[in-house]
Amino acid sequence: MTETPLLLLGTGPFTEDVADMVAEMPGWRVDRLVDSIDPTRAGDAVAGIPIVWVDDLAGYSGSHHALGALGTTKRRAFVEQVEGYGIPFATIVHPSARVSTSAKVAEGTLVSRGCLVAARAAIGRHVLLNRGSTIGHHTTIDDFVTVGPGVHIASSVHVGSGTFIGIGATIIDHVKIGAGAIIAAGAVVTGEIPERVLVAGVPARVLRENVEGL
């Protein structure tokens, strides 16, 4: 089978985990890691995978796809920089994940090991669904959302763009979460969450306003 070379955005420990997942998928091969912070790392390697500086990507536009491998909600600028070089983004669904045939998963999204995406769910661009997370039927996840490991999002929920949902959080049915919100690990969300707030607890309560993401 022909393998498409993949550029992973990021060089940290989570990037190694994403590379490990991609290695279990037919049709893809991690070829380079992309750094946007320290240009002196170009030519180094992580787990045997060479690093390339983001401003040196022009030569990869005709042959490679890219995928974000960063948990930060501030990855949008990095993604847009790579898109500016004409590099398309892959959509990666791990073989152990289960995505309903009626669900939609957009470009640049990673559906990790053991995830479940139910009927009529809509997952936006550049979303990270980390291992073991579940997305209920008719739920919408907007672009650049990070869903931590073991998160459970019930049905008919709307999660606004750039939201971060920490490990083990639970969101009940028919809840709307504003863009840029941060849901702390283990929180139980039972009502509407405004934009750009940090919430925590059971039930989740607003602890801080005007947050800038993680």
Positions annotated as catalytic residues are 137
Number of H helices, E strands in the chain: 2, 24
Q: Return d(Cα 178, Cα 189) in angstroms, integer.
A: 12
CA dist., res. 153 & res. 147, Å (int): 9
Do 64 and 89 meet the contact criterion of CB atoms below 8 Å apart? Answer: no
**Checking DSSP bridges between strand 98-99 and strand 65-68, what pairing results, if any?**
unpaired
146 beta partners: 128, 164
CA 197 to chain centre: 20
What distance in Å separates the CA atoms of residue 53 and residue 74, rounded to the nearest whole number?
A: 18
Q: How far is the C-alpha of 171 from the C-alpha of 189, rounded, in Å?
A: 5
DSSP states of 146-194 as a string?
EE-TT-EE-TT-EE-TT-EE-TT-EE-TT-EE-TT-EEPTT-EE-S-B-
H-helix segments, 58-102:
76-83
